[in-house]
Amino acid sequence: MSEKRIIDQLHHEDAWRLFRILAEFVDGFEVLSQIEVPLVSVFGSARFGEGHPAYQMAYELGRRLVEAGYGVVTGGGPGVMEAANRGAFEAGGVSVGLNIQLPHEQKPNPYQTHALSFRYFFVRKVMFVRYAHGFVILPGGYGTLDELTEVLVLIQTEKVHRFPVIALDRAYWQGLKGWIEGVLLAQGAISPEDVELLELADRPEEAVARIREYGARVGS
């Protein structure tokens, strides 16, 4: 195949890709905009199963969020995501899964009242933020760090309104917070107020209380 034909084929594929991207945005907006309770996005590792402390913490968080009048949004997969969905689902509340199509690790969990599937990470990220009244970050790896840093940048640059971003638990995230303060802030890469965008909490009820305080201030 000639170079020109390859380029033409890629352009053709890109044109159709735009329609797929648009369809994912439409599906996400249509489903999430109809949910009548405020939503909290919860993140954490797919690798921490039922016997892991992070799983138990996420389950308790999901249950308590529903009891406080919130719905839970996760990536829809196993591990910590499953636990938060399960806690919300078994408490009789809204439990949203924004599933991503991956070759491994990501398999939808069965504890979802609303399930969406995405091919594109960036569309999925918009859905995590667009309807969020809070972010709770539980122990996780690169994917969890990606979601955390992206939302901190969006709030820092005022692309979205400021809402609570809470890292749970403190022991897991204290090293990151210390690095932010001891390196980024100390060397002038961020401003003092940027440090406060990330809060640490020890227990699920503490995270829920902070989100409720925010909701009371903004009238949600």
Q: How far apart are CA 125 and CA 78, in angstroms?
A: 18
Give me the pLDDT at residue 136, please.
98
- The pTM of the full predicted model, rounded to 2 decimals, is 0.89
* Mean pLDDT of the region 141-155: 96
Give me the pLDDT at residue 216, please.
84
For residue 37, what are the contacts with CB-CB under 8 A and spacing of at least 6?
Answer: 69, 70, 71, 93, 94
Q: How far apart are CA 43 and CA 173, in angstroms?
A: 13
Backbone angles phi, psi at 115, to 5 degrees: -125, 125
Domain 3-218 has CATH 3.40.640.10: no
Residue 8 clears pLDDT 60, i.e. is over it: no
- Residue range 22-78, pLDDT digits in tens: 999 999 999 999 999 999 999 999 999 999 999 999 999 999 999 999 999 999 999
- Residue range 77-99, pLDDT digits in tens: 999 999 999 999 999 999 999 99
Q: What is the mean pLDDT of the chain?
A: 92
Give me the pLDDT at residue 3, please.
55
Give me the pLDDT at residue 4, please.
55
Report the share of the chain in percent with pLDDT over 90: 85
Among residues 179, 118, 127, the alpha carbon closest in space to that of 150 is found at 127
Per-residue tokens: 72: 């839970």
Give me the pLDDT at residue 101, please.
85
Q: Which of 12-16, 136-140, 142-146 has the lowest mean pLDDT?
A: 12-16
Residue 15 clears pLDDT 80, i.e. is over it: no
